[in-house]
Structure formats: structure tokens, C-alpha cells
Amino acid sequence: MEKKIIKNLFIALLLAFCFTLFAPQRTDAAEKQIFRVGMEAGYAPFNWTQSDDSNGAVPIEGSQDYAGGYDVEIAKIIAKKLGRELVIVKTEWDGLPPALTSGKIDAIIAGMSPTAERKKTIDFTDIYYTSNLVMIVKKDGAYQKASSLADFSGAKITAQLNTFHYSVIDQISGVKKQTAMESFPAMRVALESGVIDGYVTERPEGLTAQKVNPNFKMIEFKNGAGFQTSSEDTAIAIGLRKDEPLKDEINTILATISETKRKNLMTAAIDAQPESDKKEIWVLKILKENWPAFLRGAGVTLFISLIGTVVGTFIGFLIGIIRTIPIPGTKLKRGLLKVCNGFFNIYIEVFRGTPMIVQAMVIYYGAAQAFGLDINRMFAAVLIVSINTGAYMSEIVRGGIYAVDKGQFEAAHAIGMNHFQTMRNIVVPQVFRNILPATGNEFVINIKDTSVLNVIAVSELFFQGKTVAGSNFRFFETFFIISIIYLVMTFTVTRILRYVERKFDGPDSYSFANQNQVIDPVKANKK
């Protein structure tokens, strides 16, 4: 009965895996009618995430959330005049350039400055907004009355990773430059908690920050007292692939948007931001408003981690069985076995020796950029978790095989079994039970490690948490809820796996075929 259940479960998971593999991909014909724009959807007022389509927000691909803001309004104008359907792709800031160069998106409209360094890999359109740098501090903090860079001597200051904002911090004499952070929401949390004294940003984001959080204050500098920047640093343009044929057409469209209209769009974007309400019990409010998003994220997390663990365990068993094959007698077979073992050694070392987040970037974006492979995002996620798990499970399985007494191998060979028959009938059943705790541990690890897949815009639980926090700016409360959900999932999985282990161990009491009496082994030993 248990074997039948396991078999059916494996078949169901295999079908689900195949579904992700053969999920419909966008065709070239359909792609010609779509304008795919990449953005963080977390850099208000340029772009942000919200739960409905109010204020002209646009759906985010692969999610039930929407993107709004100044960048979205600019993208809508361009898409309309191009005669294409606008599709917003929410991607981490560091993932935007590889998403563009690999063809996952058509343009970056995300408040990006056309710096000389970025121009080496991507092209930029004409400028569609110009701003100036400001500092965000706590309203009741030590730097609330600062008016020049000199006033920030000794302050702990940071900025967003891979932006020119971070480089200008060096202009502050005596500053305690902190590690760059991945996003503006992360910096707001750090400022609120006192980890930093301030962060560098642009004026529109500064206006939004102090609007949504009364504890923040924007420090503007007079001429000559602030940061020294070039015109390209404070300008904002649309990122495109090199030699993009749409560049001239987009520039023509941008030229039709007057300066007055641009200012009005920015003012409307700033006004559309929600204000923080301190009277609400935010944990309950966030849970009530966003439980469907959290549920979807948890479902995707469990789906990816479960299939990844099952497929990874299958890979581990396959490699473990092959790597324990006795050395063949013929030269050809020895050569083939040596090549296989060499390949498996490289595979194991590479995927155990590199972080999953790096593997995700290489497989999803690198495959498209290097080989032109447009991999389905969900399939890429399952593939990444599967092959990563397989590298670890292969070593666990190999250890489990070697733990089986050698006498059992010898006995099997003595009655005429070959290596694979011995493995299938004698060794693997024992190994499966012995490595079950380690397999469960891998499953729990995968539930947590799927969070790194947000770099390729997979809508798992962590991604949904960032989405919600980016729209309500309540980071502590949102991620407190996310942590509880993760804990519930891992605790439940652990308890289920322990139940399965007990089932494999069998009952504590046994009955003989010719007796009705149940004999307790413990009591029998006492007699």
C-alpha cells in the first residue's frame, strides 16, 4: 500500500514537472504586439507595487498585483503610441540589465540614469526626467537640521547598490559610509530602526518617503552645499538593448511629452502614494488585505521545493548508483565509467560550490543571452532547485550506499545478481529509509532557499512579501507575517516527514501468523 502511494505521488510530481517544462512560451508573433518593460516596482514615486488597478496601475506579469507610478505612466504613453500592449515585468534592480540584454524585457523604465558605465552594455534614449540629490534622515534625529554635506561628518550614510548615489557619499568628509543596500524599501527600514543615519536619494523619492512616513525628513542642499554631480547622473532615461531599432521611435514619442505634462505626471504620482496610518493594527490589516497573495506565494514555494526535492533525490540516486559501480573488466567500460564519474564530480563541485542565487541568474538570464533560450520562469525555478538538490543528494546517497554492509553485496552477487539488480532489490530500499531524515532536511532547506528565486521574478512567498511591503511600507509587520508562514510550512513538513519515518519503521508490536496474541518485544525481553 505504501509503495503504491509513493508511486502515485511520484507520477503526479513528474506530471507537474513536465507541465512546467512544456508551459506555453510567448511566440515571436505575439511578442511583436507586446512592449515588455522591466522595473523594480519599489522605487516610489517612479514605480511601486499596489494591490489594485487604481490611479491607472498596470498588472505585473506573473502576479495578481499592479505597478503604478511615474515610470508606468511614461511606459503607457510609449506603448500606446507604438501600438503595443504594455506588460510590466517586476525584477530586482541588479536583474534589470541582464533581463534586458537577454531579451526577457524590451526596455528598462525604472528611474535609471544613463551613466557612462551603463552605456558600455546598454543603450539609452533621450532624457525623460531630471532631478537632484537629497538626503533622507529621521525627523527627530541628530541630522534633522543639516543643510550642507559638512553637517553629515560622522554620520552613517548609505545608498542603493549599483547606483551613482552610493559613489557620491565619498564627497562627505568624515562620513561613515555603510554597505550599499539592494532597494529603497530596505533603506527605509534601516533608517527607521536606527541602523543608518540617512540615505542618498533623488528629490521625488525623498518627497514620497517623508509623505508616507512622518518620521522621515528630506534634506535639500543649497547651491554649492550639496553633492557635485554631472548632468548624466541626475538625468533619467530609458534603457534599451544595443542597436535597438525602436530607439528613434521612442525618442520621437518622448519629444511629444511636454515638460509641463512631465511635472504634472510626477506630482500626480507623488500624491497617489498612500500615507502611513499609525492607528491601525497593521499586522491584522496586512494579513486581511493580502492573505490571497501570501497564500499564492506559499503555494508556489511548496510547489517548487517539493518537485525540486523529489527530482533532486532521483538525480542523487541515479548518480549514487552509477558512482558505486564496480570497476569493469573491459577497457571501454572502464573508460566510459571514468568519463561519467568525471562529469558527475564536476557537476557536484560546481553546484555545491556556488550559491543558488548565482545559479539562478546564470541559468535564467545567461541561457537566453548566450544561447538564445527563452526558458519558462517557473520551469527555470524548478530546474535550479532540482539540480542544486541533486548535487547534495548524490553525496548523501553515496554515503548511504557505502553504509550498507558489504556482505549483502557479496551475497547478492553470489546468487547471480548484477550491480543494478542488487541496488534495486537489496540496497536502495535500505538506503531510502536511511537517508529519509537527510532528504526531509533538504526539503526544509529548499522551502527557505526558494526565496533567492525572487531575482528572476518568481512569485514565491518572499517575492510576495517584498511586493506587499513595497506597497504599504510596513516592512517589519509584513515580514513578521512572512516569517510565521515559513515557520508553519517547515514545522508542518517536519512533522509529516517524521510520521512517514515511523511508518517505514513499522509497528512497535508484532503478531505471528499462527497466533492471535500480540507480543510486545520490550515485555518479552523482560521475561
Give pLDDT tens digits for 180-216: 998 888 898 899 889 999 999 999 999 888 888 889 9
- Among 88-102, 145-159, 399-413, 500-514, where is mean pLDDT lowest? 500-514
Give the pLDDT score at 457.
84
Architecture, CATH, for domain 33-128+236-275 = 3-Layer(aba) Sandwich (3.40)
CATH code for residues 133-228:
3.40.190.10
Tens of pLDDT, residue by residue over 510-526, are 555 555 555 555 454 45
Give the pLDDT score at 196.
96
Tens of pLDDT, residue by residue over 136-178, are 999 999 999 999 999 999 999 999 988 999 999 999 999 999 9
160: which strand partners?
Answer: 181
Give the C-alpha separation, 382 to 11, whole Å: 16
Please write down the HEC assignment for all residues of 124-149: EEEEEEECCEEEEEECCCCCCCCCCH
Tens of pLDDT, residue by residue over 40-65, are 988 889 998 888 898 899 999 988 88
State the DSSP string of 412-451. HHHTT--HHHHIIIIIHHHHHHHTHHHHHHHHHHHHHHGG
**What mean pLDDT value characterizes the chain?**
86
Q: What value does the mean pLDDT take over residues 367-395?
A: 90
Q: Please choose, from the candidates 495, 62, 482, the residue with its C-alpha nearest in 3D space to the C-alpha of residue 298.
A: 482
Task: Please give the residue that has the higher pLDDT: either 10 or 126.
Answer: 126
Give the pLDDT score at 194.
92
Give the pLDDT score at 282.
79
Q: Of all residues in the chain, what percent carry a pLDDT higher than 90?
A: 50
Residue 419 banded pLDDT, cuts 50, 70, 90: confident
pLDDT at 392 over 90: yes
- Among 222-226, 347-351, 445-449, 486-490, where is mean pLDDT lowest? 222-226
45 preceded by a cis bond (ω within 30 of 0): yes
Tens of pLDDT, residue by residue over 14-31, are 555 554 444 444 434 344
CA dihedral in degrees (151, 155, 158, 164; nearest 10)? 30
Per the CB < 8 A criterion, the answer to whether 471 and 50 are in contact is: yes
Give the pLDDT score at 513.
53
Q: What value does the mean pLDDT take over residues 276-293?
A: 76
DSSP state of 169: G
pLDDT at 116 over 80: yes
90's CB contacts (< 8 A; 6+ apart) are 38, 39, 40, 41, 49, 60, 61, 63, 65, 67, 457, 467
Give the C-alpha separation, 214 to 136, whole Å: 12
pLDDT at 273 over 50: yes
Q: Which fold has domain 283-511?
A: MetI-like fold (1.10.3720)
What are the residue boundaries of the structural domains of the chain, listed by start?
33-128+236-275, 133-228, 283-511
Give the pLDDT score at 162.
85
Give the pLDDT score at 28.
42
Biggest CA–CA distance in the chain, Å, is 99
Q: What value does the mean pLDDT take over residues 282-289?
A: 84
Give the pLDDT score at 185.
81
Give the pLDDT score at 42.
84
Domains 133-228 and 283-511 share a fold: no
pLDDT at 366 over 90: no
